[in-house]
Chains A and B, each alone.
Chain A
Amino acid sequence: MRQVLEGSHAVSEAVRLAKVQVMSAYPITPQTHIVEALSEYCEDGRMNAKFICVESEHSAMAAVIGAASGGARTFTATSSHGLALMHELLHWASAARLPIVMAEVNRALAPGWNIWMDQTDSLAQRDTGWIQLYCEDGQEVLDTTLLAFRLAETVNLPVMVILDAFFLSHTYEPVDVPDQQDADRFLPPYSPRIQLDTKNPFAMSQMAPPPVYMEMRRNIQVGMEAVPGCFDRIEKEFESIFGRKYGQLETVSCEDAEIILIVTGTAASTSRHVLAELRAQGEKVGILKLKMFRPFPKDLIRQALCNAKKVAVVDRNFSFGASGIFAQEVRAALCNQPNHPPVFGYITGLGGRDVTPEILKQIYQLVKQTPEPVEESVWVGLKE
């Protein structure tokens, strides 16, 4: 049934529908309403789950690693500094091949203290072996969270579902919340291939010396390489039950587009509005919305961009000493393609700075007027 729901609570509803068995979280800022609602669901009986309230995000991840090793369906949520504190155990979760699902609210890192929208926190975790899925509205974040459990449990890798602070996490809008019956049809109970068992004791995650470590790492990559196909197959099933799909990425009006804007998160939604306006003025512009960042859907990106004259990446993040992170990845995906379009990088909307329709139109005009990229990144919306 469609109801007016906060973005954070859309995640909580998906976790309830997924019948998660163990959750753990640290409840202080930068934590969000996601786990607040879940702790209430555990208390009032709407969920039959164990909620472990811990003293730090590092412990929250440790607790779900333990529970997932014991064969439980697990979930946690965090943001910015909380995610940074988890870093060590993010590697652990993926290398132990545990299908943990985590919601991550994109918030900036300090100093200066800032609780607002910024993608650098999640992108700084790109090499930890987690699948990363970015969402643009409340419906997508609910659907993606539900789908994340299926995906994680299929490929035995953890999934991070990522949503913008405030512009999504604190925004109320109509969201269709599926029935439990349909959710059960889509997501059967988790049956782990391996789990700790007191009746048949064994050890997990032991020493892996040079003769075996490299193969273990290669196996994680093999798991990652299976993700796109699994994602498409699972999403097809999701669509047959719920009637909605998103894709690893989405292209809008790219077929005849001379300039394609690459966008993520809520900026993708705002750019759809801008696209309609620019197209009405006769501008040949298209949008590529990136949803999956790890694994990076490089083949789909190459296909989508091959006919464009120019590509502009809008990054709400920055890698100091380099450039916007999505732009880096797009450039790397294209570099060995003959005659690929030039990639322009734009940095905007850091630390909660608004990405308005005007900012996106300004970026479009900049890329249109500039024959070829001069700098790797152009910062848009800076004060003088």
Chain B
Amino acid sequence: MQEIRFHGRGGQGTVVASVILAKAFFKAGLWVQTFPVFGVERRGAPVEAYLRLDDKKILIRSNLYAPDHIVVQDAKLLDTADVTKGLKQGGWILLNSSKMPDNLAKFKGFRLAMADAGQIGIRHRLGTRTQPIINTAMIGAFVRILESPPIDMLADAIREEIAARQEENVAAAKEAYDSVQIIGNID
């Protein structure tokens, strides 16, 4: 079983990102389970979503404490939340950022990748210039680093799950898939 934890803020489509990714993995033949963890829903508050993947029915129905990988939709969360808590050694950290984090020491033993999801969102006119939609770009980048599921399955899942501007969201996911910066192991 693989476990993935999403970190974001209310309004960033963190839960939707996890659901789309779940649907894409389901298309690829896996069993999936995803659910959000939030306090009382409000914009801007930290949000987490959990995604489990397995080749058989998933029985565990508790929260997730030792993820294989994490997706961080807002790099500022690195200052306020312990986003790598429980992350397994060698796990991927996908960061929504265009520049390397200042303090790499806390990522030691993990693998790092970065997607410039804000700029990609703006280029595809998703959301506003100050608050672009970033979730579809983030999952586009994430399937590239995991090398699964195929990007076309992700595109189909985006079209199913998102009601408006579907092709722009698909294009954002594909651009992030092509442009994600893979840093790899942090020693």
Report A259-283 residues with CB < 8 Å from chain B CB.
Answer: 266-267, 269-270, 272-273
Across the interface, name the chain A residue whose C-beta is closest to B37: A166
Across the interface, name the chain B residue whose C-beta is closest to A266: B61
| Count of chain B residues near A, Cβ 8 A | 19
- In the bound complex, what is the Cα–Cα distance between A168 and B36 (angstroms)? 11
B32 neighbours in A (Cβ, 8 Å): 4, 172-174
A354 neighbours in B (Cβ, 8 Å): 62-63
How does the 8 Å CB contact mask read for B69-81 relative to A, with 1 for contact and 0 for none? 0000000000000
How does the 8 Å CB contact mask read for A152-196 relative to B, with 1 for contact and 0 for none? 000000000000101110111110000000000000000000000
- In the bound complex, what is the Cα–Cα distance between A168 and B58 (angstroms)? 13
Asked if A270 contacts B61 (CB within 8 A), the reply is yes
- In the bound complex, what is the Cα–Cα distance between A168 and B62 (angstroms)? 10
CB distance from A286 to the nearest CB of B (A): 16
Q: Tell me if A240 counts as interface (CB < 8 A to partner B).
A: no
Inter-chain contact total with CB atoms closer than 8 Å: 56
How does the 8 Å CB contact mask read for B17-36 relative to A, with 1 for contact and 0 for none? 00100110010000111111
- In the bound complex, what is the Cα–Cα distance between A27 and B33 (angstroms)? 26
Q: Tell me if B105 counts as interface (CB < 8 A to partner A).
A: no
Asked if A270 contacts B33 (CB within 8 A), the reply is no
Asked if B35 contacts A167 (CB within 8 A), the reply is yes
Report A212-271 residues with CB < 8 Å from chain B CB.
Answer: 266-267, 269-270
- In the bound complex, what is the Cα–Cα distance between A171 and B40 (angstroms)? 17
CB distance from A10 to the nearest CB of B (A): 13
Report B47-73 residues with CB < 8 Å from chain A CB.
Answer: 58-63, 65
For A167, give its contact among B31, B34, B59, B62 (CB under 8 Å): B62
Q: Which 10 A-B pairs have the closest CB atoms?
A: A266-B61, A171-B35, A273-B59, A356-B62, A173-B33, A269-B61, A4-B23, A272-B59, A172-B34, A167-B61
Report 5 cross-chain contacts, Cβ distance below 8 Å, ordered by A residue: A4-B22, A171-B33, A269-B59, A269-B60, A270-B59
